[in-house]
Amino acid sequence: MQITSSDALLVIDVQNDFCPGGSLEVAQGDAVVAVINPLIDRFNTVVITQDWHPAGHQSFASQHDGATPFSTTQMPYGEQTLWPDHCIQGSAGAEFHSRLNVDAGSIIIRKGMRASVDSYSAFFENDKSTTTGLSGYLRESGIERVFCCGLAYDFCVRFSAEDARRQGFETVVIEDACRAIDMDGSAQTARAAMRSAGIDLLASSQLI
């Protein structure tokens, strides 16, 4: 697959808290950096997202009496997985992985900043209506196709890819540049859902 000037790379949440030793560790999460950095060099437009929660965010299990991490609760916008406290604004855990080539990014999109609503997708918060502004930025940049990578495959990558497709962009997920939480089979569920949505799934070696 040929990369052109109308393509954008979307690098999702490659942050310390999602890497080994982080509070919401994704197994081998740091392994994506070695795949992503060479990809960054090949795209004219690179969007990097950053989970950026205030302390006491309502998606944290610690904010719900008796709740345990990875349980669920009902929020006004629907079912919400409750997470360990992670990616708190200004914390070391919210910082990008030290080896990620952030300086080559075109723009950083921060998400999850409202305490009352989580934000998996790079395009919309979990209420499905509050936009991050990413769609407008991509359209103004002449982007027609979005390549997604990062953490975690079965949550923020999946929902970003699905929203990119719904927003009218051709969408590709680079699977070897992602790692999954894989909670109760969520990786396979995400893969099937993305395929069903018309999202292409491929390896970095397939990019020319």
Residues involved in catalysis: 13, 111, 156
**Looking at this protein, which amino acid is placed at residue 162?**
E
Give me the helices (H) in 23-157, please. Answer: 33-40, 134-140
C-alpha atoms less than 13 angstroms from C-alpha of 169 in its C-beta half-sphere: 30
Distances 126 to 79, 121, 131, 186 between C-alpha atoms, Å? 10, 7, 10, 17
Q: How far apart are the first and last CA of the chain?
A: 5
Q: What is the dihedral of CA 149, 126, 87, 171, to 10 degrees?
A: 10
